[in-house]
Chains A and B, each alone.
Chain A
C-alpha cells in the first residue's frame, strides 16, 4: 500500500509546479497537477519546490534549478527561442499557408462574371438555361 502525504498539495507549490513537466514517463501532466501522490518524479520535485520556497528563493530561481539539473525538458512548455520556437510557430504558419492555398484555390476556381457578349446567344437558349437554373435552385436545400 502506497504511503502518501497531502502536505505537498498547496497552491504555492502548484503555482511553480505548473511550469514544470512531470518527467515520470507515465503521464503528460505538470508537477503541479500530477495526481499520483507517490510519483517518483513529482513527489521529490514538490519537496524541492517547498524547500526552495522555505529558503526564500524566487519562482524563477526554483524553475532555473530544475532546468540546470534536467535540461530544458524540465519545462512544461517548449521555450519560445531557437529551434524549440518552431513548436509554437509551425501551427500558425501552417494555418497561414492553408489560408494562402484557399485564396489561390478561390481565385483559380472562381467563375468569371458573364459579360455582355452572352446577349449575342440565341434568346431561346438563354431562356432554357434560365429555366433550368431556376429549377435547380428550387431543388437545392
Chain B
C-alpha cells in the first residue's frame, strides 16, 4: 500500500513536469493537442495526489504503524475524526494536504477557464504545475509520508503510535489547517493568471475580474482559517489570548493583508485602468508571502511554538523563492509598457487617492509585521546579537496603524470617484465626526481613560455612521421610488450593487471585530490557590469552589473543579475547568467559559499546589471578546454578498487621451 502511495506521488510529479513542458511547448509551437494534453495532465495529477492522500488516510484509520508518519502522529486510542486530522498533524502529511488542495484548485481553474482564456491558459497551467511540481518534489523524496519503519532490511511496526498532541484534538483544530491551506494555496491561482497576463501581455479587463473573484474566495478561506486559529487559541490554550504575534500566526496574516490591499486596488484597475504594475506586485507578493509562510512554519528559521520539527527543506524553499521572485521582477520590468495606466488621476481629493492611502497603510502594517518577525534573525546575522521582538513590540507598532486603517474604512465610502470638493467632504464628514466625538465624550464621562480604547470606539462610531448613512441614502431613494419599506429597499439596494454594499458589510464586520479587540484594554485577571468552599472575587463576580475531583478514564487522568459563579449574591452559573494528563506525558487544560456579548468569564485549572490540597485557578474577565467571533459571521456574510452577481451591470467609463491640441501639447480627454 505504501508503495502505491509513494509511486502515485512520483507519477504525479512526472505528470506535473510534463504538463509544464506540454503547455509551454504546445503554445510556442502552436500545437493545440499538446496544450490540451498539458491540461489533461492537470486532472491526472489531481487523481494521483488524491490516491496518495487516500492511501495515507487509510493507513491512519487502520493503525498501520509500519509507516513512520502514522506511528509518529496517530495512535490506536484516537477517534476516527482525529485519526483523519492526523493527515495534516505532521510535516509530511501537511505538505501532502498542500499538494492535494493545489491539485484541486488547479483542476477546477483549468476546467472552468479553458475556453474563456484559451490563449492565456497554457501559461496559467504551466505556472500552477510548476508550484505543484515543487511541492510534489518535497513529498516524493525528502519528506515522504510513506516512509516505513525498518530494522535492517525488514519492515517493522511499533505496537502503538505516539498520537496527536492533545491540544490539537479540538474541533476547530480539525478544520483550521485545511481552511487556512485553502486560503494559502488558493492565492496560487490569481498569481498564475497574473503571470499568464504578463507573459502574453493580455489587457486586464477580463482576467482581472476572474482573478478578483478567486482572490475573494481564497481571502474568505484565509480569514476563516485565521479566525478559527484565534478561536482555538482562545478556547484551548488556557490563557485566553486569541493572537500571540507568533511567527507562524504572523505568516498567515501577511498574505491576508496584501490580498486585502489587492482587493481594494484592483477596483482602480477595473474602473480606471490604473495601478496595473502595483496590482501585479500585490498578487505576486501575496503568493510569495504564502510560500514564505509555509517555509517559516517548516524550516526552523524563526522560533515558533507552532512550527513543525526542523527539517532540511529550507534550502528548497529559498531556491524556489529566489527563482520565482527573480522571474516576476524581470517580467514586470520587461513589460512596463503594457502595464501603463490608461487614465489619469483627476484630483487628490478622490476615491482613487483614498485607495492609494489604504494600500500604503495596509502595506505598512504588512511590512512592520514581517520586519518584526524576521528582525531577530537579521539582527543575529548582522551583529551576532540575539534580540527579542515579542508581543509588546507588535502591539506598539500595529495598534496606531490599525486605528488609521479603521479611519480609512470610514473615509473611503464618503469620497467620490474622480474628484470631491472640500465643501462636499465637510458636509459628508460633519455628522460622523460629531458622532465619533460624542462617543468619546460619553466614554470619558463613564470613566474610560485608555487613550487607544477611546480613539478606537470613536472611530468605530465614525465608520458605523458613514456606512449606515450610505445604506440609508440609497435605500430611502429606492423606497421613495418603489414604495417598498426601508428593509426591502436595503435588500434591493444591495442586490443592485452587491460588490459595493457587500464590501460595506465587510467594513461593518471589521468595525465589530475592532470593538472586540478594543475590549482587551479592560481585561481583568487573577490567580488563586483555593480549596473546597473557598471563595474569591474578580470584577463583579464572586467565585466559590464547590468541589475538587480527580479520576482516570484510561485515556487520560483528569482533575476538575466545579466553580459556582455569583453576581450580587445570586448564583448565575457553574463553570467546571479541567486539567488532563495523558499517558504520553502531555497535559492539556480544558477551560470553561461563560460567554456573553458584553464579557466572557474564563476559568482555567492551572494545577495543584505542592501539598496537593488546593487547586490553582486562573480566572479572567474578557470584555467584548465575543464581538470578534460575531464580526467573523458578518465578514462571511458580506463576502458572500460580494460574490453574488449584481442585479444591475455597472459600466465604468475610463478617461482616455484621444488627441493633443496643436502647439500646446495638452491632452484632450474622452470618456
Contact = CB atoms under 8 A, between A and B. Distances in A.
- Asked if A and B bind, the verdict is yes
Interface of A: 1-6, 9, 18, 21-23, 25-30, 35-38, 71-79, 82-84, 86-87, 90-91, 94-95, 98-99, 101-102, 105-106, 109-112, 114-115, 117-118, 120-121, 129, 132-133, 136-137, 139-141
B274 interface: yes
Given A76-B388, A136-B653, A1 B418 contact: no
Interface of B: 237-241, 244-246, 274, 303, 305, 341, 344-348, 353, 356-357, 360-361, 363-364, 367-368, 371-372, 375-376, 379, 382-383, 385-393, 396-397, 401, 416-418, 497, 500, 526-529, 557, 559, 579, 581, 587, 604, 606-610, 612, 616, 618, 650-651, 653, 655, 661, 663-664, 666-671
A132 B671 contact: yes
B389 A78 contact: yes
Contacts of B237: 35
A125 to B, nearest CB: 9
B610 A77 contact: no
Contact of A37 (B383, B607, B655, B661): B607
Contacts of A18: 392
10 contacts: A3-B609, A76-B392, A77-B393, A78-B387, A83-B379, A109-B274, A115-B664, A129-B671, A132-B653, A141-B417
A77 B303 CA distance: 17
Query: DSSP class of B's interface residues: helix, strand, loop or mixed?
Result: mixed
A25 B398 CA distance: 23
A78 B356 contact: no
Contacts of A90: 367-368, 371
B345 A110 contact: yes
Contact of B669 (A6, A75, A111, A115): A111
A73 B388 contact: yes
Contact of B527 (A9, A84, A136): A9
Contact of B616 (A4, A71, A106, A133): A4
Nearest to B413: A141
Given A71-B385, A73-B387, A114-B668, 19 more contacts: A2-B587, A2-B606, A3-B607, A6-B528, A35-B238, A36-B239, A38-B607, A76-B388, A77-B392, A78-B375, A87-B371, A90-B367, A95-B360, A95-B364, A109-B344, A111-B345, A111-B669, A117-B663, A118-B661
A73 B386 CA distance: 5
B388 A74 contact: yes
A97 to B, nearest CB: 10
Contacts of B579: 1-2
A132 B666 contact: no
A103 to B, nearest CB: 10
The residue among B356, B357, B528 with the most chain A CB atoms within 10 A of its own CB is B356
A102 B357 contact: yes
Nearest to B581: A1
The residue among B347, B388, B669 with the most chain A CB atoms within 10 A of its own CB is B388
Contact of B387 (A27, A72, A95, A110): A72
A120 B664 CA distance: 12
